Structure 1
């Protein structure tokens, strides 16, 4: 079967929220892009991920023209709660920073972007097999794959955007000596469930306890997302719903646990925690964005938000290129990495503050308690937490 050849300006590998958002932003700017995804659209939509959006991400979704349902159905949050022992302390995000966050699930963000792309008649290849990237060290890069009908396809482009996640082909295709990886793997994971029950609180609750960390979150006023810190040796199917709810109650202050509504889970999984950064994020005409270039622990909800700001920078840089300036693409990696490392620092700090770390011993546990106590009594400490939680601004 002969190879089908296509020509576009930007070939985007990966149809998760970062790839689709990049495609939407480029379309608004008049830049052509083709999206290539190895999984089916249903598989992509079935992934359960984050649900807290920074204002920067909300603004980018509005810029892309896909914010209408988010504003209608999303839940703006002016703060969140930190609990330890039987103490609960409110972090007033809006009062401390003048900003807020939006609770709106990543699945819904992806759905909005998919529908907008389809409505605009833009080309997306799902279920693409054997995706590979070539010649990105030249001015004629291309992406090759096999379509579901078995036909080989080659997409020739000016640039390739690697939005294909931590295990994707784009970063793996970079010569080993051209990239430096930084990684920290945490000795625990998060066991999470999704359930159609009302949230225990109208705000998120981050809880530190002797049994370990817990998070009470939500996707809507009728759907809740809960997590407990667990061993990496655990398996989700070994946890009954009843066992999960009992463990969650043990980790919450009594007044919160008493108000917890339980029900059957509709999804249950364990996510390992890691911090990871690849440097640089540009290799000739190949750019890495989102999880392809970095991973953060879910504490603080920075993963999707970092991916959004990466593609915000990249969309602007590519738009500037087609208007005659290479300054944006030349500074893309440096600008992204400055923001990425600040988010990595915050996610590491918040993770170590809230989780049980047996390797730190009794002294470390006391230090953790002292820092939580200090945080709840110091406006300056709360302001620093709030500033990072709502999201640092993008550079101009």
Structure 2
């Protein structure tokens, strides 16, 4: 049986960042990942990094490529009534966000692990968690060669996403689930074409929500609200471009640049929280504990916030035998999680077309949009949440 202080399930941003933070404190960890490395480095996910996320990566010396290739943004547009209304993030908060793909952060973290020789095992299977309510939990798994292994730990960190095994390993009577599904989904595309606007555009349109974003100066990221039961096979490239042109059109001059599509897919929309985020010596972080609709750009940033809190709690527990931060980990994280859940719900409900809404509901949406665009107080509240609240 192998031995480590912290066994980390999942090599996404949460698991890899936690491993690196613990290494900086002199705590050894092993990361286990079901997928192969190429898949982990290439899977397209979030692209907006909050101010606290960027600052943490800089503090750790992990932001070299982010600073060189990331796209700083000091505002974004709310587009409705055929007009852009800019939310001046930096002017309102003194902070900004950076557009830099989640997969690029994963590449940077894996390169940092390689440089320091930190263990990450890919293509593991049959992962099982044992003894979580003891001070010596264990992780059973098969390595990429199919050999049965067991990892003896002091702590297990469940960073394996919404569909992972960590959360279901908590007895059902020891966790409470809060779940809301939305009656629509996002159709997302990556297109090889320069962005059509220098900042993100969040659009409320009678045909449904649309988002213009970007990944690089040559790659544009675009989203459409579609019905929850839509199939990607029914959306040709021409159909997608036609719908984007309709929804992103303005009364002023605006040209949506088209180009070949590199990737497209449909993502369901949901809000999800499990409480507590800890059971014995198992600590959940990131999507294993909570999901937000992507409208607020909070998913990856919440994962970063979780592991920043968790790394400090585990440092106190494992190096100094002080358990106060570990015992309060769930409560500390959940305060920020529920704020992000509310903000993401607010952005989603304000911008999307609810198929069940009547004209009264639609007028309320427009009233909220107009108030947000015209009130310094409302815009500041939106900006403060968007650029990211402190980790604790």
Q: Report the TM range for the smaller structure's normalisation.
A: over 0.9
Q: Which residue of 2 aligns with 1:170?
A: 166
Q: Which residue of 1 aligns with 2:127?
A: 131
CA contact (8 A) 1:83 1:253 kept: no
DSSP-derived class of the 1:95 partner: helix
DSSP-derived class of the 1:267 partner: strand
Q: 2:10 aligns with which of 11, 14, 17?
A: 14
DSSP-derived class of the 2:296 partner: coil
Runs of 4+ in 1 over 3 A off after TM superposition: 255-258
DSSP-derived class of the 1:224 partner: strand
Q: 1:330 aligns with which of 327, 330, 348?
A: 327
Write out aligned runs for 1:309-388 (5 A): 309-321=305-317, 322-388=319-385
User: What per-residue deviation string (whole Å, max 9, x for no partner) do you get for residues 265-294 of structure 1?
Assistant: 110000000000000001000000000000
Cα deviation for residue 254 of structure 1 reads 2.8
DSSP-derived class of the 1:21 partner: helix
CA contact (8 A) 2:183 2:355 kept: no
Cα deviation for residue 46 of structure 1 reads 2.3
Distance 1:103 1:114 in 2: 20
Q: Which residue of 2 aligns with 1:29?
A: 25
CA contact (8 A) 2:31 2:121 kept: yes
Distance 2:251 2:197 in 1: 11
Distance 2:284 2:84 in 1: 40
DSSP-derived class of the 2:356 partner: helix
Q: Check 1:343–1:256 CA distance in 2 against 1; reply closer, same or farther (3 A cut).
A: farther
Cα deviation for residue 235 of structure 1 reads 1.1
Cα deviation for residue 256 of structure 1 reads 7.3
Gaps in structure 1 of 5+ consecutive residues: none
Scaled by the length of structure 1, the TM-score of the pair is 0.97
Q: Which residue of 2 aligns with 1:228?
A: 224
Q: Does 1:253 align with 2:243?
A: no
DSSP-derived class of the 1:219 partner: strand
Distance 2:68 2:76 in 1: 21
CA contact (8 A) 1:84 1:253 kept: no
> How many matched pairs?
391
User: What per-residue deviation string (whole Å, max 9, x for no partner) do you get for residues 60-104 of structure 1?
Assistant: 222333111111110111110000021110000001111100110
CA RMSD of aligned residues (A): 1.1
Distance 1:216 1:279 in 2: 34
CA contact (8 A) 1:93 1:386 kept: yes
Q: Which residue of 2 aligns with 1:264?
A: 260
Q: Check 1:28–1:257 CA distance in 2 against 1; reply closer, same or farther (3 A cut).
A: farther
User: What per-residue deviation string (whole Å, max 9, x for no partner) do you get for residues 106-127 of structure 1?
Assistant: 0100100011111211111100
DSSP-derived class of the 1:139 partner: coil
CA contact (8 A) 1:195 1:266 kept: yes
CA contact (8 A) 2:83 2:252 kept: no
CA contact (8 A) 2:83 2:251 kept: no
